[in-house]
A and B are shown apart, each in its own frame.
Chain A
């Protein structure tokens, strides 16, 4: 297991207007690991994920307190949201390729950085698609619309699109909930492969998924982080009775 802390989260609270959505979250997320957030719907796990790349900035009523440091830098005080999202990529629940060609989807990020040279873009597109394990399927369809791909292909394309800007961290918000079992297992294999180079934080509804691929798991309930620890330990020997009841399926 990794020793280096990527995110240091201290006393994080989030309010939507009067609603207290995250209650005093404290945790360290490790580099080059897969960290899974599990918990019932509405428990705050996706909300928390979106504080890590400041997508919450777009929710008008959201207010975040506490400190989140990435590699020692406070991402709310000492970083710009846009610069942060260059480093912390995100894959969403619903595959959301742009209505453009496969190539233009992957090249989108590099282009907004000002990369214009065709040769350089070609190279980035191929590298990113290979990393997302979808190059062989798409190399002959680079100029076709991304909307014509299957759901699983679209999601891996979105992963390639996120990788094309060379992030350090990849946030995945229930990336397989809209996909069939075969596509799901491809994305899981991919996540395991990618953690060598990236830090992956994944929200999932699926406890087996967390158990299969994550190194550490955090269990959220009603806006509170109930328990956090190495995945094997959390599933085999949970220390909090609420965690135990959830993972044994006695409430949801």
Chain B
């Protein structure tokens, strides 16, 4: 009789241990491979983070340069812009589907958003490439059409469903008694939403935004298709550039095992890992129960 009990507990424990083990191993592995740039090829952390001079040599002899500033700036700017575009729209959509018209919201809006979330990124990239890029050429007289702005728009569309559905969940979780309290004091619907419901859902909304940002940071394919992939610091939102992920994705097939380029790409990957760790830490901080002061 207790055999089953132990068997299931065993399976659950093993599953949990595997997840923890995998995460740790990936972290250690990335740290180990990524550190070769600094220990084996003797570059400094300052050069990696602060220089825009990226020319690692594809051999074990080394001697190239590994300034990753272009990719770091590229990632920060595209993701930041994407967030600026997506957050207000997502917040509005979530308020609409949970507060203003919950019936249409639940029946129609939420399923559509879920479908949205399931579309593969190559489709977003392709649509961006065949619709937005030519549009930019015509509308803004851009020569190439690809740019940071287009990448940000594509990313914004991609993270919109993530932020929207998580924000909607956070808004739905606000107890109805808060709403009654606000209406009972003579609040209008907007006052109730803006002054009571959104503040009450604040930590959930921030979590939604960070999850959206994390998804944007990790996206390589769709961004690579529309950002133009030039190794240069962007000078405006119409510039072409690269991001951390697009560079890793584009170069990893070409790099020789044991070479400086390979090591530098591992360092970039480790940087991505650290950034996502940081975001997870942020989420935990936002959601940590406040100490009663």
The answer to whether A158 touches B180, judged by C-beta atoms less than 8 angstroms apart, is no
Question: What residues of A have a CB within 8 angstroms of the CB of B183 in the complex?
Answer: 55, 58, 85
The answer to whether A89 touches B292, judged by C-beta atoms less than 8 angstroms apart, is no
* B181 is an interface residue with CB less than 8 A from chain A: yes
Question: Of A86, A94, A98, A145, which one neighbours B186 at CB under 8 angstroms?
Answer: A86
Give min CB distance, A182 to chain B, whole Å: 22
For the complex, what is the distance from the CA of A82 to the CA of B182, rounded to whole Å?
Answer: 11
How many chain B residues touch A (CB < 8 A): the figure is: 20
Task: Report if A96-B178 is in contact (Cβ < 8 Å); known contacts: A108-B195, A145-B290, A145-B292.
Answer: yes
* A148 is an interface residue with CB less than 8 A from chain B: yes
Give min CB distance, A54 to chain B, whole Å: 10
Question: What residues of B have a CB within 8 angstroms of the CB of A111 in the complex?
Answer: 195
Instruction: List the B residue with the shortest CB-CB distance to A111.
Output: B195
The answer to whether B178 touches A98, judged by C-beta atoms less than 8 angstroms apart, is yes
Chain A interface size range: 20 to 34
For window 80-96 of chain A, which residues contact chain B by CB distance below 8 Å? Answer: 82-86, 89-90, 92, 94, 96
A-B contacts, CB under 8 A, total: 65
Question: Of A99, A108, A144, which one neighbours B292 at CB under 8 angstroms?
Answer: A144
Task: Report if A94-B292 is in contact (Cβ < 8 Å); known contacts: A83-B186, A112-B187.
Answer: no
* B199 is an interface residue with CB less than 8 A from chain A: yes
Give min CB distance, B192 to chain A, whole Å: 9
Task: Report if A94-B177 is in contact (Cβ < 8 Å); known contacts: A99-B200, A112-B195.
Answer: yes
* A116 is an interface residue with CB less than 8 A from chain B: no
Give min CB distance, A75 to chain B, whole Å: 13
Task: Report if A158-B186 is in contact (Cβ < 8 Å); known contacts: A99-B200, A144-B293.
Answer: no
* A165 is an interface residue with CB less than 8 A from chain B: yes
For the complex, what is the distance from the CA of A190 to the CA of B222, rounded to whole Å?
Answer: 64
* A161 is an interface residue with CB less than 8 A from chain B: yes
* A199 is an interface residue with CB less than 8 A from chain B: no
For the complex, what is the distance from the CA of A53 to the CA of B185, rounded to whole Å?
Answer: 10
Give min CB distance, A32 to chain B, whole Å: 21
For window 49-71 of chain A, which residues contact chain B by CB distance below 8 Å? Answer: 53, 55, 58
Question: What residues of B have a CB within 8 angstroms of the CB of A20 in the complex?
Answer: none
* B253 is an interface residue with CB less than 8 A from chain A: no
Question: What residues of B have a CB within 8 angstroms of the CB of A161 in the complex?
Answer: 181, 185
* B230 is an interface residue with CB less than 8 A from chain A: no
For the complex, what is the distance from the CA of A148 to the CA of B187, rounded to whole Å?
Answer: 24
Task: Report if A82-B184 is in contact (Cβ < 8 Å); known contacts: A98-B200, A148-B292.
Answer: no
The answer to whether B184 touches A85, judged by C-beta atoms less than 8 angstroms apart, is yes
For window 150-205 of chain A, which residues contact chain B by CB distance below 8 Å? Answer: 158, 161-162, 165
For the complex, what is the distance from the CA of A86 to the CA of B187, rounded to whole Å?
Answer: 8
Question: What residues of A have a CB within 8 angstroms of the CB of B200 in the complex?
Answer: 98-99
> Could you jot down 15 A-B contacts, CB within 8 Å?
A55-B183, A55-B184, A82-B187, A82-B188, A85-B183, A85-B186, A86-B185, A89-B184, A96-B175, A96-B177, A99-B200, A108-B195, A109-B185, A112-B188, A112-B195
Which residues of A are interface residues toward B (Cβ below 8 A)? Answer: 53, 55, 58, 82-86, 89-90, 92, 94, 96-100, 108-109, 111-112, 144-145, 148, 158, 161-162, 165
A82-B186, A86-B185, A98-B182 given; name 17 further pairs at CB < 8 Å: A55-B180, A58-B183, A84-B186, A85-B183, A86-B186, A90-B184, A98-B200, A100-B199, A108-B182, A108-B195, A112-B186, A112-B187, A144-B292, A148-B292, A162-B184, A162-B185, A165-B185
The 3 tightest CB contacts between A and B, nearest first, are A96-B177, A85-B186, A90-B184
